[in-house]
């Protein structure tokens, strides 16, 4: 039987995917989005038992499908104008392995001078 948790995100109830259900004995990777992306769409911060960056992003996209278009291109790769950091190191690899206590930060890359 799948564990599901009803939570409130952005003021609306939704059903969390099983990998995002809090388990007291298990550390979970945290994925967060910086305010620059919040200008365009709602950006959840969540803790997931994801094994890869792709799984963690999928959990965020399950909460807000519009977010996918801002983060990934049509080939499923991280967009050039988006920077993703896993445990303080930048990555372009959506298959990046996450540790149970990993911290993932997704932000819009800024350019200019």
16-69 pLDDT, tens per residue?
A: 555 554 443 467 899 999 888 777 777 878 898 999 999 999 999 998 888 999
Judged against a pLDDT cut of 60, whether residue 92 lies above it is answered with yes
Which one is predicted more confidently, 36 or 76? 76
DSSP class per residue in 35-86 = HHHHTTS----EEE--SBHHHHHHHHHHH-THHHHHHB-TTSPBPTTEEEEE
Q: Using 50, 70 and 90 to split pLDDT, how confident is the model at 9?
A: very low
Would you say the pTM of this structure is higher than 0.85?
Answer: no
For residue 79, what pLDDT band results from cuts at 50, 70 and 90?
very high
Of the candidates 47, 29, 36, the one whose C-alpha atom is nearest the C-alpha of residue 71 is 36
Closest CA to 63 of 13, 2, 97, 3: 13
In the chain, what percentage of residues exceed pLDDT 70?
74
- What fold does the segment set 27-108 form as a domain? Ubiquitin-like (UB roll) (3.10.20)
Q: Where are the domains of the chain?
A: 27-108
């Amino acid at each position: 039987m799948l564990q599901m948790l009803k939570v409130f995100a952005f003021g609306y109830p939704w059903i969390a995917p099983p990998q995002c259900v809090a388990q007291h004995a298990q550390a979970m990777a945290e994925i967060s989005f910086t305010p620059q992306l919040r200008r365009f769409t709602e950006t959840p911060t969540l803790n997931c038992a994801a094994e890869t960056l792709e799984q963690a992003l999928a959990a965020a996209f399950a909460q807000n499908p519009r977010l996918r278009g801002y983060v990934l291109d049509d080939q499923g790769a991280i967009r050039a104008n988006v920077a993703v950091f896993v445990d303080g190191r930048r990555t372009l690899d959506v298959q990046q392995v996450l540790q149970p206590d990993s911290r993932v930060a997704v932000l819009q890359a800024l350019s200019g001078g």
